[in-house]
Amino acid sequence: MSEEVVRSLGPGRFLDWRVLNAMGTAGGVLICWDKRSLEILGVEEGQFSISCRFRNVGDGGIWVFTGVYGPFSREERECLWEEFGAIRGLWEEPWCLGGDFNTILYQSERSRNGRITSAMRRFAQIIDDLGLVDFPLQGGSFTWSEGLNNQSWVRLDRFLATPSWLDQYSRVYQRRLSRPTSDHFPVLLEGGGLRRGPSPFKFENMWLKAEGFKDLIEGWWQGIVVRGRPSYRLAVKLKGLKQNLKIWNKEVFGRLERNKVEALQQVEHWDLVEEERSLIEEELSHKKEAEEDYAKWVSMEEVP
Res 198: pLDDT: 58
Residue 12: its pLDDT value, please? 72
Q: Which pLDDT does position 199 carry in this prediction?
A: 60
91-103: b (≥16 Cβ within 10 Å) or e: bebbbbbbbbbbb
Residue 199 inside a domain? The answer is no
Q: What angle do CA 60, 61, 65 make, to 5 degrees?
A: 125
Same domain, 186 and 222: no
User: Over the stretch 249-271, which tens digit does the pLDDT of each residue have?
Assistant: 877 776 667 788 888 888 888 87
How is residue 22 annotated by DSSP? -
How confident is the model at residue 295, as a pLDDT?
82
Mean pLDDT of the chain: 84
Amino acid 277: pLDDT: 80
Q: Do 142 and 8 belong together in one domain?
A: yes
Q: Is residue 55 located within the same domain as residue 171?
A: yes
- Separation CA 39–CA 56 (nearest Å): 6
Q: Is the pLDDT of residue 81 over 80?
A: yes
In a domain, 218, yes or no: yes
With beta carbons less than 8 A apart as the criterion, state whether 105 and 134 touch.
Answer: yes
- Long-range pairs, 107-116, Cβ under 8 A, ≥24: 107/272, 107/275, 107/276, 108/141, 108/272, 108/275, 109/141, 109/142, 109/154, 109/155, 110/142, 110/152, 110/153, 110/154, 110/155, 111/142, 111/152, 111/153, 111/154, 112/152, 113/276
For residue 92, tell me if it sits in a domain.
yes
Residues 155, 61, single domain; the answer is: yes
Residue 197 lies in a domain: no
From CA 240, how far away is CA 227, in angstroms rounded?
A: 14
Please tell me which residue, 148 or 72, carries the higher pLDDT value. 72
Same domain, 174 and 140: yes
Question: Does residue 203 lie in a domain region?
Answer: no
Give the DSSP H/E element, type plus range, for residue 105. none
Is the same domain home to 106 and 225? no
pLDDT digits (tens, 9 = 90+) for 5-51: 676 666 677 889 999 988 776 778 999 999 999 999 999 999 999 99
Other C-beta atoms closer than 10 Å to the C-beta of 131 total 11
Strands (E) located in 141-299: 144-146, 152-154, 157-161, 173-176, 187-190
50 plus 153 within the same structural domain: yes
Does residue 230 sit in the same domain as residue 129?
A: no
Give dist(CA 241, CA 8) in Å, integer. 53
- How much is the average pLDDT of 181-205? 73
Per-residue pLDDT at 182 exceeds 60:
yes
Across 279-290, average pLDDT: 89
Beta bridge partners of 20: 29
User: CB–CB of 20/67 below 8 Å?
Assistant: yes
Give me the number of domains the chain comprises: 3
> Could you tell me the CATH number of the domain that includes residue 180?
3.60.10.10
Query: At 99, phi and psi to the nearest 5?
Result: 145, -160
Q: When comparing pLDDT for 302 and 179, which is higher?
A: 179
What are the φ/ψ torsions at residue 164 (nearest 5 degrees)?
A: -65, -35
Rounded CA-CA distance 209/220 in Å is 18
- For residues 108 and 16, membership in a common domain is answered with yes
Q: Mean pLDDT across the stretch 196-210?
A: 71
Please tell me whether residues 111 and 73 are part of one structural domain: yes
pLDDT computed for residue 267 by the predictor: 81
> Would you say residue 197 has pLDDT above 60?
no
Instruction: Measure the CA–CA gap between 296 and 129, rounded to whole angstroms.
Output: 26
pLDDT for the residue numbered 300: 67
Residues 109 and 40 in one domain: yes
Amino acid present at 127 = I
| % residues pLDDT > 70 (the chain) | 87
The mean pLDDT value for 57-68 works out to 94
How many Cα atoms are found within 13 Å in the side-chain-facing hemisphere of 241? 19
Cα 98 to Cα 101: distance, rounded to the nearest angstrom: 8
pLDDT at 37: 92
Within-domain flag for 205: no
Q: Do 144 and 155 form a contact (C-beta atoms < 8 A)?
A: yes
pLDDT of residue 95: 96
Q: What is the pLDDT of residues 92-144, one digit of tens each?
A: 999 999 999 999 998 888 887 778 899 999 999 999 999 898 888 888 888 88
Q: Which domain holds residue 231?
A: 211-252
- The answer as to whether 232 is a domain residue is yes
Residue 97 lies in a domain: yes
Say yes or no: 96 and 63 in one domain.
Answer: yes
C-alpha–C-alpha distance, residues 294 and 264, integer Å:
6
